[in-house]
Structure 1
Amino acid sequence: MRNTLRRGLGVATATTALVLPLVWAGPADAGSDPDIAGLARTISAPGVEKHMRKLQEIANANGGTRAAGTPGHVASRDYVAAQLKKAGYKVTLQSFPFDFFEEKSTATLQRISPDPKVYTPTPPDNGSLGDFATMTYSGSGDVTAPLQKVDLVLPPAPTPSSTSGCEAGDFAGFTPGNIALLQRGTCTFQVKAANAQAAGARGVIIFNEGQPGRTETNQGTLGDSSVTIPVVSASFAVGEELAAPASSVVRLKTDTISERRTTQNVIADSRWGDPNKVVQLGAHLDSVLAGPGINDNGSGSAAILEIASKIGFLPTKNKLRFSFWSAEELGLLGSEYYVANLSAADKAKTKLYLNFDMVASPNYALKIYDGDDSDATGSPAGPAGSDEIEKLFEKYFDTLRQGHVGTDFDGRSDYGPFIDAGIPAGGLFTGAEGIKTPAEQALFGGTAGVAYDSCYHQSCDTIANVNSKALALNTGAIATAALVYAFSSDLPGPDTRPATAARTAAPPAHVHAHGGSAG
């Protein structure tokens, strides 16, 4: 079905040209500001696709990935930086350290004695879960040694409560050189593995605790690269089986790279505009190791790169800042580092942040971040002004009679650190591994009951994994928002203009109706 959703890339020009002139007549106090709709019309999806194809070429030349800490990300960084410099921006490469992890080949777990048995692994490309899986940030090694049980609770308690391996005292009497068998429970995997390593264990197996919902293999993480011995997770059934004999010998093999590396965010400032009023747009540039990441998130990166390239010459009222984050796939590391290193004064100057992560999913829904929690899903609203950003995007799609839905600020993308800092935020999203609903099918077409992006975090997230209609619609929306806020005297959040200007400015004609009209 995915093939029926992928339109030919050539239709995007017509789509964008039709929608952009209709959307924005300009703020009431615009005065001599330029024709925003006319400027937005110069930005089209084919220009975005050109950058996406370049990112695909970069991945092809670098082992099929653009993940942070790899040559593919370095080449992506250099391409983006060169394009921005060419467009007249002041470009900064912001370096920061992070813990890199790669599982180079499939792990091995087997019982040598008694009753030899080979267990089914979970492959490095995040395929179907097996009997066990390599923990993220596991060390590398090939160990055959006696298995030693550490403070296990078998059968499991009715509720999660195991403290197996949580305290150094659990390893009193542990024989250095053995492989430690631990049970999931009340402390982190990192604490368990670090205690085992300190006690002299040459490898660690952490099996699920055993209560309902805690029986399958858990693909956990150790959080950082401080543990250097092999560590795997296992299902409860495997752990129970390994624990049954009074003594056994096990082979445990992992083949990983787990080390501290350095990567860079790309930050580009326009040479125009009030430096005390920064309008910031961002997208993460890194992919996962498993694939080239052209929808996730070559689409968002390419969209803001094309917009930046087209409007860099404009003498805007407010300063534009375009941000290309690294290591988002490892936990928003690039945006977290950036925000954490802003001074209080610089945070105050950042008037809003717009985030674009996956804007061309093949089975798309047009999702606008729910700045005011008007969807009443229980997720917190964004900082004051986030509701205004949401309404601007709603107005864009409503003008086109194009349906749209809300999506929560669930912390899964780079708006998170900005929201935590109290900066108004918003943006667009077309769906990841979530399942499209029948109501969304009615609004957007496609197939209900199927993931928005069935290639999410996989090697098939290539240039073929892009819906050009979604890309064109979102490109228009992003360009319009960038230009509106670049020239606006009334940015989202508390009104800081002089009283006279605030009184005379006409209120914006916002329409706030999630879902809109099918178009």
Structure 2
Amino acid sequence: MRKLLIGRRLFVGTAVALPAVLLPAALPMAGAAPARPHLAALVTVKDIRRHLAALQEIADYNGGNRAAGRAGYTMSVRYVTGRLRKAGLVPLVQKFTFPYWRERSHAVFARMAPSKASYKRETDFVTLAFSGSGDVTAPVTAVDIPAKGEGTSGCQAGDFRGFKRGSIALIQRGTCSFVVKATRARAAGASAVVIFNKPGEKGPLHGTLSKPYAFPVIGPSHKVGADLVKAARKGGLRLRVKTDTAHGKRSSENVIAETRVGRADNVVVVGAHLDSVPAGPGINDNGTGAATLLAIAGQIGKLGRSGLRNRVRFAWWGAEEEGLQGSEHYVRSLSAAQRRRIALNLNFDMLGSPNGRRGVYDGDHSTGTGTRAPAGSGAIERMFHQYFKSRRLPVAESQFDGRSDYGPFIERGIPAGGIDTGAEGLKTAAEAKAFGGRAGKEYDPCYHAKCDRLKNVDLKLLDGNADGVAYVLEHLARTTAAVNGGSGLDRVRVPTYEPLRLGPYLLR
């Protein structure tokens, strides 16, 4: 368990004293030192937008994307390192290789019996990254499909009891990774795997298997999958699944930069992925996270030594869209002693979805869904909740589902937290009431698409989120306890944030 105290002391009882970092900037008394600026006041949406425009221009001049292993990503790395040097930081470019995958020709997905129908690529289904090649026509077996909700379809070996070898496995997304589902299906003798989206998710299942497979794996929408389950239970359902793919090795880079001052044994790692998908420039996903961190990195030195008692390590991860390759390489490359010096990880992936909601990662597992994060993650969640409450801004719970770069950290027992604003999921009626926008529509209609450009970003939502990122990061940078001492994050009463005392910049 990583240990970290909040402020100089534990907060006990019902009365909570605000530490100095939470007090408003005030006019100094005669002879007093000037008040230290708040990081949230220093970081502006104007700066963030300027970085987003630069990333958009890079994509426009390099084939329309900033995907790992391609020219647009190389130029994105050069841009980030140049801005970091201008801010007085020393960037480290960490090179690594990763398995790449592409489709050589369009996939085919069709119902052959008892009636015939063809499904449309991108609208009804997609090929999962690292699917193998094959042309399979075979009977279908539905694997432990729940009557409602996510369920654990395909997650246990027992789900495949009685599975007929050579048939196509029909599985619903949920609970465990795509890799686990595909691996168990293959072990049971499946000739192809169809993993359809879970209830409440619109559109096909975009996902990655993170390693090459030798048979077809595709991801239909929930609507298509649910219709196929009904047909399979009636009997006689046969499908055709055809994929034509290639895979190999490519190289990419992470960009790492660390503050010069602060405790080296109590490091706060804050990261965002820098790459886009090949289909588009990736300005919301994840230019918004990358640009926000770049704007914060440009201002953090103004906090001075008193504001940076712990070191802050910024990271722009490469090849996230290829299966968290950059963050996984980074964490794997650390020694056990180096990992112990990391107090926690903050991750920011999509901060300005145009129909978004403000989702704070569920560090205390209060929703009972997703992965249970390591001890300490709950306190990070509370910091974000209390900050946004102080600004009278609504929040929602966002589960740790393994889809972003916090994954390799929590797998090694490092506490994590952060914000996201939604991807291909559908906004609920309750969320539309709380955040505005349209219920029943995707949080980001341009997710993983060509239209994910600067116009696809809700700058007002991004502005408020960036303030929260900067504020919580500053607070964690000022904590004083060692990783191996103190009471642990989850046992600490986090301070109460009061909006009227935090200064007028919080009300914009």
TM over 0.5: yes
State the match for 1:66 in structure 2: 66
| Pair 1:357 & 2:369 matched | no
SS at match of 1:413: coil
Aligned positions, number: 433
TM-score by length of 1: 0.70
State the match for 2:472 in structure 1: 481
Distance in 2, Cα, partners of 1:62 & 1:359: 24
Q: How does 1:391-470 map to 2 (within 5 A)?
A: 391-470=382-461
Distance in 2, Cα, partners of 1:209 & 1:67: 25
Contact 2:142/2:169 (<8 A) preserved: no
Distance in 2, Cα, partners of 1:282 & 1:346: 17
Distance in 2, Cα, partners of 1:221 & 1:429: 20
Deviation sequence 1:198-250 (CA, Å, 0-9, x none): xxxxxx9737599xx9xx998886653475x988799978997879xxxxxx9
SS at match of 1:90: coil
State the match for 2:106 in structure 1: 106
Distance in 1, Cα, partners of 2:373 & 2:446: 30
Q: Partner letter of residue 284 of structure 2?
A: N
Per the TM alignment, residue 119 of structure 1 is displaced from its structure 2 partner at its CA by: 7.9
| Pair 1:368 & 2:368 matched | no
Distance in 2, Cα, partners of 1:192 & 1:156: 9
Deviation sequence 1:94-146 (CA, Å, 0-9, x none): 222211112254246899xxxxxx984654xx3333xxx656335679x9xxx
Q: How does 1:164-203 map to 2 (within 5 A)?
A: 183-184=168-169
Distance in 1, Cα, partners of 2:98 & 2:168: 28
TM-score by length of 2: 0.71
| Pair 1:128 & 2:124 matched | yes
Distance in 1, Cα, partners of 2:137 & 2:407: 42
State the match for 2:300 in structure 1: 311
Contact 1:366/1:405 (<8 A) preserved: yes
Contact 1:162/1:209 (<8 A) preserved: no
Q: How does 1:86-235 map to 2 (within 5 A)?
A: 86-103=86-103, 105-107=105-107, 120=118, 122-123=120-121, 126-129=122-125, 134=127, 136-137=129-130, 160-161=160-161, 183-184=168-169, 206=192, 223-225=210-212, 227=214
State the match for 1:75 in structure 2: 75
State the match for 1:114 in structure 2: none
Per the TM alignment, residue 90 of structure 1 is displaced from its structure 2 partner at its CA by: 2.5
Q: Partner letter of residue 123 of structure 2?
A: G
| Pair 1:53 & 2:28 matched | no
RMSD: 4.4
Contact 2:210/2:323 (<8 A) preserved: no
SS at match of 2:455: coil
5+ residue gaps in structure 1? 1-22, 112-117, 166-180, 197-203, 244-249, 498-505, 513-517
Distance in 2, Cα, partners of 1:356 & 1:219: 20
State the match for 1:5 in structure 2: none
Contact 1:153/1:162 (<8 A) preserved: no
Distance in 1, Cα, partners of 2:144 & 2:462: 50
| Pair 1:323 & 2:308 matched | no
Q: Partner letter of residue 50 of structure 1?
A: R
SS at match of 2:456: coil
SS at match of 1:464: helix
Q: Partner letter of residue 356 of structure 2?
A: Y
Distance in 2, Cα, partners of 1:157 & 1:39: 50
State the match for 2:11 in structure 1: none
Which of 346, 365, 368 aligns to 2:338? It is 346
Q: Which of structures 1 and 2 has the larger relative contact order (alpha carbons within 8 angstroms, sep 6+)?
A: 2
Contact 2:39/2:296 (<8 A) preserved: no
Deviation sequence 1:243-287 (CA, Å, 0-9, x none): 9xxxxxx99783x44211121111111222221121111011111
State the match for 1:289 in structure 2: 278
Larger Rg: 1
Contact 1:379/1:409 (<8 A) preserved: yes
Distance in 2, Cα, partners of 1:110 & 1:428: 39
Deviation sequence 1:38-95 (CA, Å, 0-9, x none): 4431210110111111111111122222122222222112211221122222222222
Per the TM alignment, residue 24 of structure 1 is displaced from its structure 2 partner at its CA by: 8.2
Distance in 2, Cα, partners of 1:217 & 1:425: 29
Percentage of identical aligned residues: 38
Contact 2:195/2:219 (<8 A) preserved: no
